[in-house]
Amino acid sequence: TSITSAKIQVNGVHLHYQQTGEGSHAVLLLPGMLGSGQTDFGPQLQSMNKQLFTVVAWDPRGYGKSIPPSRDFPPDFFERDAKDAVDLMQALKFKKFSLLGWSDGGITALIAAARYPSLIHKLVVWGANASVTQEDVRIYNGIRDVSKWSEKVKKPLEELYGHKYFAETCEAWVDGISRFAENSDGNICQQLLPDIKCPTFIIHGEKDPLVPQAHAEYIHKHIKGSRLLLMPEGKHNLHLRFAKDFNREVENFLR
């Protein structure tokens, strides 16, 4: 089946999304920093089982084709994304759905699952963290300057945004997420984890250079009954690099 693209008005902004499949189980894919459905979830949109699932990938406000508005990072930007994501799925008439969140999208998915328990069927997160440590801030500052990024990672984002928006938004993200380190315990959403009642699957790449494994272990420990899978060769983008294995694991969990 084909992948359709459209925009829908949610909370005063026009959110762009892609949709494919006709299964009864609706799944929302939540991208990472600067990400969009197009840049972050190609292998999932193409290859997830379209008989079992209806797959939606969204561009959060200020990202991808959900511009305008320009992206900003107020203290509640994850909470705002979580509300936008859930309201988008309701606007699309999905009564209950599962969340697959990568990186920042994983944080957004954790918050959404805790805040809207009656709407969330199952939850999968990878490359996510519930707090920001001083070590994390050091890692974030290491990616602040996009001119130092690898060509492979940089190119699709430069094509999507143009260099100026891409570079400035990355810097603003580093400042925005680093601010959480000033909270007690560097808290983003630690207190919400025990409120997550749906079946939860946490995947972590053991070679992830951006998110230390302790974050995945913390989330696993604080979501009752959750499952943790460590991928020895996985890096931050394990769902792209090992798409076949990732899709298989996730589909088995969602069934």
In the chain, the domains with their CATH numbers are: 3-131+187-254 (3.40.50.1820)
Closest CA to 111 of 74, 79, 75, 77: 79
Return the beta strands (E) in 32-129 as ranges.
53-59, 97-102, 120-126
Point out the catalytic residue in the list 208, 215, 226, 239. Answer: 208
Point out the catalytic residue in the list 36, 66, 98, 103. Answer: 103
Check if 208 is active-site: yes
Which regions in the chain score pLDDT beneath 70? none
Residue 226 near residue 200 (C-beta atoms within 8 A): yes
Closest CA to 104 of 61, 145, 147: 61
Point out the catalytic residue in the list 16, 215, 236, 239. Answer: 236
Measured distance CA(55)–CA(69) in Å, rounded:
25
The pLDDT value given to residue 169: 98
For residue 62, give the amino acid letter.
Answer: G
Check if 76 is active-site: no
Check if 150 is active-site: no
Residue 143 near residue 149 (C-beta atoms within 8 A): yes
The pLDDT value given to residue 1: 74
